[in-house]
A and B are shown apart, each in its own frame.
Chain A
């Protein structure tokens, strides 16, 4: 049985890199073939033929992390801070090779453009064992309100 405490510890580490955004460290938690997905509708199955809020592969993650700290990115001038609370962590699936599908409930308070906002979602992490810890093969953020009109968001959740 995989060690739930180690999994939780790993999720907390990812959150810490997003809380005080450090995308250079954050991206290192992801595999080269990773995807980061925020669907635009509930139970969305298809990221290719249906639009999403975010569906980044490593290429887009690499561009985003460089853009995030660029001095002429006006939307990034405002200080961005997040506070993740992670709970209800459960192991949904595990493969013989050690791959894991982890589900957690997350509430993230985002400070951006002079206001605090709350994002609530179920996160699904596909994890792969790596060097005694994990790497993220994919992360899916199932917002409770994916159909709602959204405000600008310049950070990963």
Chain B
């Protein structure tokens, strides 16, 4: 394979094609980690994961850089580089928990306040008259360059120059609003645990798959057929079994159904499918939930909230959410051919337990490594990862409905089976990788 020189990204991404090295070249992966993951706002966690003073949650902001999200006494939530200012040891090793008093390094006992500032060095007199300046921020646990939250969703970035979070989200921000507005109290909280799923392929495959509406009827055909053949054996009176099994067939919805759902893309690579309708549109509404919604919002506004029915929303590159299901997936690359997905569920505050139970059921069926949907998706990504080693053809194409995307002031709209999602994310990919280039919604 011909080595692509740095900055010649025109040779890698065209409006309708991608070079296969985007999935296979470790050097491109490292560039992505610094130029995309080191620049974009990356989802860290939700404020409800650290409800009390001293609660913390750790993650990586890209393939390597460890960070800790921690709640301070004035209710502020900080995101700090998880590194001791002394010899560099990772300070907080556990995934989550509560710390009393101060963060303390396990190596030489340096301790830090929850805003990251240095509190105490054991036997500090040894530093006297050495030129060591304890107030230098480099000896603290440094906050990320920018940290912001929107309706409880905490993002951070390694970049001090990227635009603010709200501007960065653009029109895709309405999906966070919709997710939270689906709670009668207008707020959500993390509940019901997490699933972690290891993927042995390039991280971009799952982002491409989210709004790829040409795959479900193929990849998930066997599951739909299995459910249908089982349903056919059920006697009329098996109402409960039928109701449960009927969760499955929408995964094989028709091309027409998906086409009608539409895709909408934004600057910085965000996109969603649905809005007017989606495969989630026909889920029946729990009457108690509906009553709580109407009491909170009135009938008209409630209907409006339900009607904004997206399927998958991508906040490029690290987070995908399902508003109607209150479920999110967090992407964390590991290497050019490995990444991990975390799936978290949310409780709608003020809603009956049945809503969380539905979310948990959905996540178990779809997001579990031992589920009936995820393994088939991963299997086709794995095959793409292998097939793209073939030198016979250097290109992956995405022509579907090219030239028909409707370019509006703040977004691009197109058909639900179009490749608009590919065009949207790879325009952003290229702009990030070219560094300092203006992001836009038109192809250069």
Tell whether A and B belong to one assembly.
yes
Q: Given A59-B230, A67-B222, verify A151-B369 contact (CB < 8 Å).
A: yes
- Are A152 and B379 in contact, with the CB atoms below 8 A? yes
State which residues 111-157 of A face B: CB under 8 Å: 113, 147-154
Q: Given A59-B241, A63-B248, verify A51-B192 contact (CB < 8 Å).
A: yes
Encode A39-59 as 1/0 by CB contact (under 8 A) with B: 011001000111111110111
A82 CB to nearest chain B CB (Å): 14
Q: How many residues of A contact B (CB 8 A)?
A: 38
Q: How many residues of B contact A (CB 8 A)?
A: 47
- Interface flag for B158 (CB, 8 Å): no
- Are A49 and B191 in contact, with the CB atoms below 8 A? yes
B353 CB to nearest chain A CB (Å): 7
- Are A57 and B383 in contact, with the CB atoms below 8 A? no
- Are A64 and B372 in contact, with the CB atoms below 8 A? yes
- Are A50 and B193 in contact, with the CB atoms below 8 A? yes
State which residues 64-78 of A face B: CB under 8 Å: 64, 66-67, 70-77
- Are A54 and B356 in contact, with the CB atoms below 8 A? no
- Are A63 and B372 in contact, with the CB atoms below 8 A? yes
Give the CA-CA distance A64 to B365 in the complex, in Å.
11
Which residues of chain B have C-beta atoms less than 8 A from A50's C-beta?
A: 192-193, 360
Give the CA-CA distance A49 to B370 in the complex, in Å.
18
- Are A66 and B226 in contact, with the CB atoms below 8 A? yes
- Interface flag for B368 (CB, 8 Å): yes
A144 CB to nearest chain B CB (Å): 15
Identify the closest chain B residue to A44 (Cβ). Answer: B193
State which residues 56-110 of A face B: CB under 8 Å: 57-60, 62-64, 66-67, 70-77
Majority DSSP secondary structure for residues of B touching A: helix
Q: For B360, give its contact among A38, A49, A66 (CB under 8 Å).
A: A49
Which residues of chain B have C-beta atoms less than 8 A from A148's C-beta?
A: 196
- Interface flag for B375 (CB, 8 Å): yes
- Interface flag for B195 (CB, 8 Å): yes
State which residues 25-39 of B face A: CB under 8 Å: none
Q: For B375, give its contact among A52, A55, A75 (CB under 8 Å).
A: A75
Give the CA-CA distance A53 to B367 in the complex, in Å.
9
- Interface flag for B227 (CB, 8 Å): yes
Give the CA-CA distance A41 to B193 in the complex, in Å.
8
- Are B368 and A73 in contact, with the CB atoms below 8 A? no
Which residues of chain A have C-beta atoms less than 8 A from B374's C-beta?
A: 152
Binding site for A on B (CB under 8 A): 95, 191-198, 200, 218-219, 221-223, 225-227, 229-230, 241, 244-245, 248, 340, 343, 345, 353, 356-357, 360, 363-365, 368-372, 374-376, 378-380, 382-383
A-B contact pairs, 10 of them (CB 8 A): A50-B192, A54-B368, A60-B244, A63-B223, A70-B223, A71-B222, A75-B378, A147-B194, A150-B197, A152-B375
